[in-house]
Chains A and B, each alone.
Chain A
Amino acid sequence: MKTIIIVLLGGLLLFSLAAFSLLPQRGRAPEQPIAFSHKIHAGDYQIPCLYCHANARRSPVAGIPSVQFCMGCHKITAADKPEVQKLQGYWNRKEPIPWIRIYDQPDFVHFSHTPHVQAGIACQQCHGPIETMDRVREAVVLTMDRCVACHQKRQASLDCVTCHK
């Protein structure tokens, strides 16, 4: 009986591993419409995360800065760089920038940044060493496992409806 279970599970595992390559790319780092570098902004210049993602402390979503916000600096700063000129192109055409989403949760998960920022969790805890990345890579895979482990460690709520509602 035991052998059967092990064989079955083993088979399933093998199949899973084979199929795993078909999963959406974990740790993906897609090319963005503008080669924005977090390394330059957050790393070299030490701009705090919340300077641009200001909503993280008061809203479930951290928010992406508006094009106007970027232009606040880049009207003058580094205005001759080709990537900054791309930004100016969007601004002049009055188009928002179609960034490609990296961190996402399924629709049945309701995550809110606010309590996490309030509890003093560093952004890097879930988003990896973002200040070292020229192109953002999914450095941390946000599975339920990971959420629960951290909640257990920090004695945060383990109630299902904290996230599933």
Chain B
Amino acid sequence: MEVNRRDFLKVLSIGGAAALTGCSAQAPEKLIPYLIPVEEIIPGKATWYATVCRECPAGCGMLVRTREGRAVKVEGNPDHPVNRGRLCARGQASLQGLYNPDRIRQPLLKDASGTLKPVSWDEAEAWLISRLAELLQQGKGVGITWMTPHLTGSPDRLVNQWLKILGSTRRLRYEPFAYEPIRTANRLTFGREVIPTYDLESSTVILAFGADFLETWISPVMYAREFAAMRAYKDGRMGRFIFIGPRLSLTAANADRWISVRPGTEGVLALGLVGVIVAEGLVKGLSQDEVGRIRALVDCYDFKRVSEATGVEPEEVKRLARTFAEGDPGLALGGGTAVSGPHATTTLVAINLLNYVAGNVGRTVRFGPVSTLSQLSTYREMLDLIQAMEKGQVSALFFSEVNPVFTMPKAAGFERALGKVPLVVSCSSFMDETVAKAHLVFPTHTPLESWGDVEPWEGMHGLMQPAMQPLFETKALGDLLLSLAKRLGGPPAQAFKEESFYEYLRARWRELHQRLQSDVDFETFWVEALRRGGVFEAIPAQPVRLNVQALSQVLEEPELAGQADAFVLLPYPSLVHFDGRGADRPWLQELPDPMTQLTWDNWLEVHPEDAKRHGIEEGDLLTVKSPDGEIELPAHLYAGVRPGVVAIPIGQGHTAFGRHAEGRGANPLALLPKEPEPRSGGLPWLSPQVTLARTGKKHLLASVSGSDRQFDRGIAQVIPLAELQAYAGKEPHDEHKVLQMYPPHEHPNHRWGMAIDLNACIGCGACVTACYAENNLAVVGKEEVARGREMSWIRIERYVEGPPERPETRFVPMLCQHCDNAPCEPVCPVYATVHNPEGLNIQVYNRCVGTRYCSNNCPYKVRRFNWFTYKWPEPLNLQLNPDVTVREMGVMEKCTFCVQRITEGKERAKGEGRPVRDGDIVPACAQACPTRAIVFGDLKDPESEVSRLRQNPRRYRVFEHLNTQPAITYLKRIRPSEEA
């Protein structure tokens, strides 16, 4: 009897199905039609809405993809001038704010016992109105205070107007990172207390003093894009970048050189560079008189003294100054927590001076458009508020989406002072540490459910529109304020004509319309603004002059005082959690920190030499003690901190804020002193006095890194700049020609491929989170990550090469290579993974029986196995992409090159009666990438960008010698010339 495979499986499957269905009778599924169809929604098709990302103050434009009325994916808005279509990992994770299972779902009122109990909106508002009326009667309206994060545009104006009507002007725009030293330094040097435009793209040399501009500093997605453009290899040249600071951050890892200076001495180095530039006559565009006065200022900073103070070799100081002066133009940036100590303002004044003498002011440092972050309240103003609260001058404190209990130093005493305020009202979406202390909690819409506008830079008016109906019984902050005003009656009710915040917003946009585009009617202007995501004015730069007089008193020698045996503590904003507001997003918890490759945790970075001296080993739980407090954290040995410095990421250590955030690590703000930096009133994050002691306990750190070294496997390759220059037109090497046993695959229509430029990749991880969002990847949690069971289809491998004193960090995005000779395919006993006619290595979930042979045979280790049926706590499941199967236990999965997007792109082209064009199909990782490092396309099309990049002299394929014939070509990272 001939039993062929197909018939055998058929018989088997009927038996199997019968056995399975015998015990479960499924309820019939319902088909629910619309009562009234929504005009813009076609069931089964995506609808996109433009809005603005509110995950950090950068204000990137965003497009939200919705299906059947719910948001399933966010992407950068190509029309928005801040991010031009790109988005970071935190922006991607805004969806998990919207669908967070720990959102506050109804108003809460504190009862006599001090617990917050659910009440109705009506009750909550009525209760507040009676309290407010009481306050106003007693003449305490003047003590009403409003604290918001960085707000601009209409919401900002409404809050101020509302306050004014109640008789108060106490208003704070609180952000933990408020850039006070930059603003103050610009006032002192140029007479303008603002954050200017930094033009990274036009620079040829960038010096960054502590500024982590690829991670969290001011506008990271914008800077990443500009940085990649500046670093791109063009006409035999590429821009140079040197990072100066005590810690090797992700930004520093992308530099030609990381110069580790003594903490707090960045300013001395900057002045030393000014000294060399002046002395060697490298000054650009200054009068003799001006040069003379500057020379007098920096005379005492000769390079020998500078070298002693900073720990940088004297020759290096000279070389650095010359390199910078060669810049045409150059750009010096300063900031971040490394430049926030007691002499932060001095340091930034020194950096201003450096930019000035090198002729960069007006070219790469432009005062217009300026950042609206310039309007933030300073840390000192927050301390004043605390004092007022202590003295009982604050009769009521309203706040929205700020968490000072967590983000201010414990020593500042915000939490204690909050107890003295008789009425604390929160308008937030999440139960964080500060909200938990409120008397009344109004749950607000998340940004994806809200109307609004955001102006990150002067003249850039981003417009926010709700991408979907509110998920819970929440209200927009604006609507709440208007409703409260109506209920108060009298003058407050009369002050606002508008019934809703939507109308209020439109009224302000009518003013914009009048000013900018009065030649079209308002509705056209409005609809176009909604479609484009806003209106964007060009604001010209204003000329500034250096105020040499004012500087002489500022520039004294910065020094960081501390005990001899103590470590300098450097807390730094985490790339994934920022100031802690990302900690409740499971995607971000599972995204490895790029430098340490650790997940779901918080740690203390200590240099291996220091660790050896103190007998500290990886994972030892330490007591970290400062004069202001102590915390316990596990040690992570990291050669990227300067000996004598310890670093802790900010963002973890929540005691509230939901299931994903709570109880992970400790908050370094417990260690910081209260006193502000005297000149700017900013918070000195860099704190000189901490001691470490072992507790004797061990802590499990969940790392995704197998090894820091690549052991000559050539996974992440580099090419020296000189070698690349020598090619100029010649072919560098031949592709491996290997004899084949089998005929090659035929790809009749398309052959999908990818090119990844390692010179552009900065290792930020935006692609990783974008992939989680697009492809329904499960979050497995810390314990499973520690077992190596994370589900990421694309990961950023981080390797360190070179000697410890000059580490070279290499990032390489690793994903399924879609090999022609895929080692996974022949070992699958059930043909669950096969090569398709378009060159994809596909995985058929319903065929897979979970032998894991494929994963075992994959040299790239990019296949992921479902050890469990993972859960999405409701309502996180509403984010799942309906175009992608949700996998169950026992099934293997891996990158599909976003096959659902390929299908969609092909169908769209077919519907329009044309062939697929280059750029029609963009996988989620390539779409998100802030630096355009990933390019996808058809290799059968010789004109496509990916085909062109495959001919680039920097090309290589990982493990070429295995003859797997991957569809992914990497372009080598360019190693800049030795002297820098």
Is B520 an interface position by the 8 A CB rule? no
Find out whether the CB atom of B1 lies under 8 angstroms from the CB atom of A60.
Answer: no
With a cutoff of 8 Å between Cβ atoms, the chain B residues found around residue A48 in the complex are: none
Stretch at the interface among B35-43, B353-361, B648-656, B757-765: B35-43
Which residues of B892-909 are within 8 A (CB) of A?
Answer: 896, 899-900, 903, 907
Which residues of B840-882 are within 8 A (CB) of A?
Answer: 840, 842, 844-846
Is A120 an interface position by the 8 A CB rule? no
Is A76 an interface position by the 8 A CB rule? no
Given the interface pairs A99-B31, A99-B33, the reply to whether A164 lies near B846 with Cβ below 8 Å is yes
Find out whether the CB atom of A67 lies under 8 angstroms from the CB atom of B14.
Answer: no
Assign chain A's interface to a size class.
35 or more
Find out whether the CB atom of A108 lies under 8 angstroms from the CB atom of B1.
Answer: no
With a cutoff of 8 Å between Cβ atoms, the chain A residues found around residue B900 in the complex are: 110, 165
In the complex, which residue of chain B has the Cβ closest to the Cβ of A67?
A: B35
Is A73 an interface position by the 8 A CB rule? no
**8 closest A-B pairs by CB:** A19-B18, A61-B44, A59-B44, A64-B33, A60-B44, A66-B34, A101-B29, A99-B31
Find out whether the CB atom of B35 lies under 8 angstroms from the CB atom of A95.
Answer: yes
With a cutoff of 8 Å between Cβ atoms, the chain A residues found around residue B43 in the complex are: 55, 59, 61, 63
Query: 1/0 contact trace for A139-159 toward B, CB 8 Å?
Result: 000000000000000000001
B35 to chain A, nearest CB (A): 5
Interface residues of B: mostly helix, strand, loop or mixed?
loop
With a cutoff of 8 Å between Cβ atoms, the chain A residues found around residue B35 in the complex are: 66-68, 91, 94-96
A62 to chain B, nearest CB (A): 9
Is B741 an interface position by the 8 A CB rule? no
22 contacts between A and B (CB under 8 A): A6-B1, A12-B15, A16-B15, A22-B18, A24-B25, A55-B42, A60-B44, A61-B44, A63-B42, A64-B31, A96-B34, A96-B35, A101-B31, A108-B846, A110-B900, A114-B907, A118-B910, A160-B842, A161-B840, A161-B842, A164-B845, A165-B900
Determine the distance from Cα of A95 to Cα of B30 in the docked complex, in whole angstroms: 14
Tally B residues with Cβ within 8 Å of A. Answer: 47
Q: Pick the contact of B11 from A16, A98, A100, A107 — CB < 8 Å?
A: A16
A30 to chain B, nearest CB (A): 6
Find out whether the CB atom of A100 lies under 8 angstroms from the CB atom of B30.
Answer: yes
Find out whether the CB atom of A112 lies under 8 angstroms from the CB atom of B907.
Answer: yes
Find out whether the CB atom of A66 lies under 8 angstroms from the CB atom of B911.
Answer: no
Find out whether the CB atom of B36 lies under 8 angstroms from the CB atom of A15.
Answer: no
With a cutoff of 8 Å between Cβ atoms, the chain A residues found around residue B17 in the complex are: 23
Find out whether the CB atom of A110 lies under 8 angstroms from the CB atom of B883.
Answer: yes
Given the interface pairs A100-B28, A165-B903, the reply to whether A12 lies near B34 with Cβ below 8 Å is no
Is B22 an interface position by the 8 A CB rule? yes
Interface of B toward A, CB cutoff 8 Å: 1, 3, 11-12, 14-15, 17-19, 21-22, 25-26, 28-37, 42-45, 834, 836-838, 840, 842, 844-846, 883-886, 896, 899-900, 903, 907, 910-911
Find out whether the CB atom of A24 lies under 8 angstroms from the CB atom of B26.
Answer: yes
For the A-B complex with A16-B11, A55-B44, A96-B34 known, give 19 more contacts whose Cβ atoms are closer than 8 Å.
A2-B1, A5-B3, A12-B11, A12-B12, A16-B18, A19-B21, A60-B44, A61-B43, A66-B34, A66-B36, A68-B35, A96-B32, A100-B29, A100-B31, A101-B29, A108-B845, A108-B846, A112-B907, A165-B900
Determine the distance from Cα of A68 to Cα of B33 in the docked complex, in whole angstroms: 10
In the complex, which residue of chain B has the Cβ closest to the Cβ of A3?
A: B1
With a cutoff of 8 Å between Cβ atoms, the chain A residues found around residue B29 in the complex are: 100-101, 104
Interface of A toward B, CB cutoff 8 Å: 2, 5-6, 9, 12-13, 15-16, 18-20, 22-24, 30, 55, 58-61, 63-69, 91, 94-101, 104, 106-108, 110, 112, 114-115, 118, 159-162, 164-165
In the complex, which residue of chain B has the Cβ closest to the Cβ of A113?
A: B44
With a cutoff of 8 Å between Cβ atoms, the chain A residues found around residue B886 in the complex are: 107
Determine the distance from Cα of A108 to Cα of B887 in the docked complex, in whole angstroms: 8
In the complex, which residue of chain A has the Cβ closest to the Cβ of B23?
A: A22
B205 to chain A, nearest CB (A): 47
Determine the distance from Cα of A70 to Cα of B20 in the docked complex, in whole angstroms: 40
Determine the distance from Cα of A107 to Cα of B891 in the docked complex, in whole angstroms: 14
A51 to chain B, nearest CB (A): 14
Chain B CB within 10 Å, residue with most, of A22, A97, A112: A22
B888 to chain A, nearest CB (A): 9
Find out whether the CB atom of B34 lies under 8 angstroms from the CB atom of A59.
Answer: no
